[in-house]
């Protein structure tokens, strides 16, 4: 198949993290990809596979033993040509300047040099009839290759300038080789298929290798991975990523000392690993088929923090050593077992962070500072050109572009008009960094205005005085401003205007004819850029005092009696209306009894039915010339007690006749209702023409109906008695005593 497009199946949550060697694994969020990547498929000439390299816009695939030529593909994966005469190619490596591609030909015991500009064979080196060059790496100016036809730990090197070949031994069996321009004199060797994984870092000195560091493939004494399949050195020459299948995983160790730098988790049976030179760096791991486990074929990690950048399912297992990035880091090429190459476009495109900081608000017609930074994977993007746009009041204005500094930061001044503005900073992106725009709002504020005002606190009626003040905005006086002046007194409200002088001051003259408070309000409407302002002031204009009294016809009243409340008002000018209030004990507010005009005789009487202790209050609100006045008086109301006798033979007024052998009975009722209170009772006996106290009770409880039934126990002999009930006083009512009830026993 050629050019068939397929959308990759994505898995973005809970896939993989990079675990620091010093920390336990923890769950980290998997960010979304910068943009949707697309996958295309390109058929290869052979089902077998040797190696894959990308240089410029060309992808080169060697087919391994039995293949004829090198397959050249365009950047999009489309077929370009097959470079004939280079048969059975296995491992490949680029020279430090990327101008020459070296290809291992084990079947013909040679290493071929190919010009990466003309794509023609430029040289062929015979490495000896017993040598079978397999994996290649360029380090220290020499081409290093493994040789499976010689003892398992043999590594040979070729000097391209002379064609001389030298041999040396390494620790790792059946070695895989890797190097990177970031550490041009270092060669990394890992034992293919070893468990636990073992790898060494050698310093290149001519044809000699000096061991610098080693990694034993264990973490805390346990194998971190085994059955090594591939390894890659990052473009900076700082770390080595190595993959294995038993146990499976990807391990990172430091090139400098072989110490564990982290582990990538996720996926099963990793076969290939590749790093990208794009900003911030990405690491791609390709996986074998896992029919029973729904995992992606490729996971892409961020090189800086190990977070998963994206994942792809490309239908088919990735071949060992079958991953490579395009030089610009924008595409990822994967060779699958089906004899095809998958091209993942935009796989290396990263989401940048474009921070924009502006003040929440600023004064109109000033400039604001717009600042921030541009980063990707935590690394600054230096020298990036940023576009700037301002949107305000329906108008969009393109502002000059700015460039980021070495640390990725930027700062510039932008104009702010008379309306709120949106500032949008944008980055167009590159082949490996997605475009991004960030917008922030600035609220345009008017200049704060202040209106001060001064006037005397009190003046005499008909005496002239002046109201003065100053108007400023932003701390400066406002000249020629028209101010609205409102004056309110007892006669009503008037409105006028006054203009400020050159120094922002103003003055208003007044001669009050009416007494009482004069309330002044001076206000300014403001302008487009200056906020409105307002000030108030009250001047008390003196008034004459008048007399006001409140009396009642008595101090104590019987329950239900009518009190006569008499008001006497002295001289006034324009009003003789008074308000009379009553407030019973326990009430939270006074009740208005009447609002009436006092007659020419100066007095007014208001009736009120008394049921509780009450305070009366009268108020005169004042008029144009006379001031407010008030008076009050408290009076008391006695409780009412009634006694109703029953079972008597006869009655005459308050005298009741009972049989001497019976029990006089009755009910005492109290007004107002006082359930739960108590009353007292006294009984006197008539002896020798005189009333003598025979009984005096303690507390006799009043029932819930404010009544209490009673019976009088007598001696059973004829005679005369008298009964009286007493109620104690309270906050609500004064004490009260019933009249006598006379009882004759016959």
What's the angle, vertex CA 610, arms to CA 607 and CA 614, rounded to 5? 95
Q: Does the pLDDT at position 26 exceed 60?
A: no
pLDDT for residue 215: 86
> How many whole angstroms from its chain centre is CA 71?
55
Q: Does the pLDDT at position 10 exceed 50?
A: no
pLDDT for residue 33: 39
pLDDT tens readout for residues 613-648: 999 999 999 999 999 999 999 999 988 899 999 999
* Strand ranges inside 106-254, DSSP E: 110-115, 120-126, 136-139, 142-146, 154-159, 164-169, 175-180, 183-191, 199-205, 208-215, 218-219, 222-223, 228-233, 239-245, 248-254
pLDDT for residue 292: 58
pLDDT for residue 636: 92
Q: Does the pLDDT at position 211 exceed 90?
A: yes
Spatial contact of 272 and 231, defined as CB atoms under 8 Å apart: no
What whole-number distance in Å separates Cα of residue 495 and Cα of residue 603? 39
pLDDT tens readout for residues 130-165: 899 999 999 999 999 999 888 778 899 999 999 999
pLDDT for residue 278: 53
Q: Does the pLDDT at position 279 exceed 70?
A: no
pLDDT tens readout for residues 538-550: 999 999 999 999 9
What whole-number distance in Å separates Cα of residue 641 and Cα of residue 724? 10
Residue 164 preceded by cis peptide, ω within 30: no
The better pLDDT of the pair 720, 587 is held by 720
Spatial contact of 414 and 390, defined as CB atoms under 8 Å apart: yes
pLDDT for residue 161: 94
What whole-number distance in Å separates Cα of residue 163 and Cα of residue 157? 10
pLDDT tens readout for residues 285-307: 988 866 655 566 888 887 766 77
pLDDT tens readout for residues 511-533: 999 999 999 999 999 999 999 99
CA distances from 256 to 112, 172, 209, 216 (A): 32, 18, 15, 15
pLDDT tens readout for residues 434-474: 899 999 999 999 999 999 999 999 999 999 999 999 999 99
Mean pLDDT of the chain: 88
Q: Residue 6 — pLDDT band, cuts 50, 70, 90?
A: very low
pLDDT for residue 428: 95
What whole-number distance in Å separates Cα of residue 617 and Cα of residue 549? 10
* Total-model pTM: 0.58
The better pLDDT of the pair 247, 501 is held by 501
**Three-state DSSP string of 639-671:** CEEEEEEECCCEEECCEEEECCCCCCEEEEEEE
Percentage of the residues of the chain whose pLDDT score is greater than 70: 93
pLDDT for residue 287: 86
Helix, strand, coil in percent for the chain, rounding step 5:
0, 55, 40
Among the ranges given (140-144, 195-199, 362-366, 661-665), the one the predictor scored with the smallest mean pLDDT: 195-199
Spatial contact of 510 and 592, defined as CB atoms under 8 Å apart: no
The better pLDDT of the pair 582, 172 is held by 582
Kindly state the average pLDDT of the residues 661-688: 90
Kindly state the average pLDDT of the residues 56-62: 95
What whole-number distance in Å separates Cα of residue 182 and Cα of residue 231? 16
Q: Which residues pair with 312 in a beta bridge?
A: 298
Q: What is the CB-side half-sphere exposure of residue 358 using CA atoms within 13 A?
A: 26
What whole-number distance in Å separates Cα of residue 229 and Cα of residue 243? 6
pLDDT for residue 37: 65
pLDDT for residue 8: 30
Q: Which of 35, 79, 81 is nearest to 351 (CA)?
A: 35
Q: Does the pLDDT at position 353 exceed 50?
A: yes
**Three-state DSSP string of 418-452:** CCCEEEEEEECCCCCECCEEEEEEEEEECECEEEE
pLDDT tens readout for residues 390-399: 999 999 999 9
Both tokens of 119, joined, read 């794509």
The better pLDDT of the pair 673, 74 is held by 74
Q: Which of 312, 271, 288 is nearest to 39 (CA)?
A: 312
């Amino acid at each position: 198949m050629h050019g068939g497009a397929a959308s990759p199946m994505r898995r973005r949550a809970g896939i993989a993290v990079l675990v620091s060697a010093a920390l336990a694994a923890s769950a980290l969020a998997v960010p979304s990809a910068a943009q949707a990547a697309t996958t295309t498929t390109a058929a290869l000439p052979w089902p077998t596979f040797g190696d894959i390299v990308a240089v410029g816009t060309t992808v080169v695939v060697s087919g391994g033993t039995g293949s004829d030529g090198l397959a050249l593909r365009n950047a999009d994966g489309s077929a370009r040509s097959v470079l004939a005469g280079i048969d059975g190619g296995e491992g490949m490596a680029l020279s430090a300047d990327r101008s020459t591609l070296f290809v291992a030909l084990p079947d013909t015991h040679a290493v071929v040099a190919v010009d990466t500009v003309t794509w023609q064979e430029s040289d062929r080196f015979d490495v000896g009839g017993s040598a079978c060059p397999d994996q290649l790496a360029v380090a220290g100016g020499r081409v290093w290759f493994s040789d499976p036809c010689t003892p398992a730990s043999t590594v040979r090197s070729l000097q391209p300038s002379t064609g001389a070949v030298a041999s040396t031994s390494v620790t790792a069996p059946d070695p895989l080789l890797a190097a990177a321009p970031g550490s041009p004199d270092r060669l990394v060797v890992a034992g293919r298929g070893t468990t636990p994984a073992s790898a060494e870092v050698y310093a290149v000195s001519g044809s000699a290798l000096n061991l610098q560091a080693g990694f034993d493939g264990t973490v805390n004494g346990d194998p971190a991975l085994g059955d090594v399949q591939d390894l890659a050195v990052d473009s900076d020459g700082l770390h080595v990523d190595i993959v294995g299948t038993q146990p499976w995983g990807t391990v990172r160790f430091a090139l400098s000392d072989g110490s564990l730098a982290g582990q990538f988790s996720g996926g099963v049976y990793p076969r290939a690993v590749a790093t990208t030179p794009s900003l911030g760096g990405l690491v791609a791991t390709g996986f074998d088929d896992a029919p029973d486990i729904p995992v992606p074929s490729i996971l892409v990690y961020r090189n800086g923090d190990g977070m998963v950048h994206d994942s792809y399912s490309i239908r088919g297992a990735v071949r060992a050593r079958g991953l490579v990035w395009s030089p610009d880091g924008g595409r990822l090429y994967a060779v699958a077992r089906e004899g095809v190459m998958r091209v993942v476009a935009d796989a290396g495109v990263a989401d940048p962070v474009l921070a924009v900081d502006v003040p929440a608000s600023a004064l109109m017609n000033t400039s604001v500072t717009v600042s921030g930074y541009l980063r990707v994977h935590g690394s600054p993007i230096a020298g990036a050109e940023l576009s700037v746009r301002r949107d305000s009041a329906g108008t969009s204005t393109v502002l000059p572009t700015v460039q980021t500094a070495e640390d990725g930061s930027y700062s510039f001044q932008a104009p702010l008009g008379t309306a709120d503005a949106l500032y949008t900073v944008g980055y167009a992106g590159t082949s490996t960094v997605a475009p991004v725009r960030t917008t922030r709002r600035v609220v345009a504020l008017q200049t704060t205005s202040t209106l001060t005002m001064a006037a005397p606190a009190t003046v005499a009626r008909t005496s002239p005085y002046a109201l003065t003040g100053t108007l400023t905005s932003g701390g400066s006086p406002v000249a020629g401003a028209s101010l609205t002046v409102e004056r309110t007194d007892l006669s009503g409200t008037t409105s006028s205007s006054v203009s400020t002088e050159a120094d922002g001051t103003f003055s208003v003259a007044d001669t009050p004819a009416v007494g009482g408070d004069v309330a002044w309000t001076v206000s300014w409407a403001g302008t487009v850029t200056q906020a409105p302002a307002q000030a108030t002031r009250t001047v008390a204009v003196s008034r004459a005092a008048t007399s006001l009294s409140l009396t009642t016809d008595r101090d104590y009243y019987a329950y239900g009696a009518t009190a006569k409340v008499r008001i006497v008002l002295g001289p006034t000018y324009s009003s003789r209306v008074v308000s009379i209030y009553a407030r019973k004990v326990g009430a939270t507010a006074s009740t208005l009894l009447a609002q009436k005009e006092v007659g020419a005789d100066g007095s007014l009487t208001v009736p009120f039915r008394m049921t509780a202790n009450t305070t009366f209050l009268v108020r005169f609100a004042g008029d144009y010339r006379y001031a407010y006045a008030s008076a009050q008086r408290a009076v008391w109301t006695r409780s009412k007690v009634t006694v109703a006798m029953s079972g008597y033979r006869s009655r005459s007024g308050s005298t009741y006749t009972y049989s001497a052998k019976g029990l006089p009975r009755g009910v005492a009722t109290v007004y107002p209702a006082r359930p739960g209170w108590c009353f007292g009772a006294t009984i006197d006996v008539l002896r020798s023409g005189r009333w003598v106290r025979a009984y005096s009770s303690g507390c006799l409880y009043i029932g819930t109906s404010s009544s209490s039934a009673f019976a009088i126990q007598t001696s059973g002999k004829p005679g005369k008695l008298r009964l009286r009930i007493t109620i104690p006083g309270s906050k609500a009512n004064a004490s009260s005593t019933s009249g006598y009830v006379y009882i004759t026993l016959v």
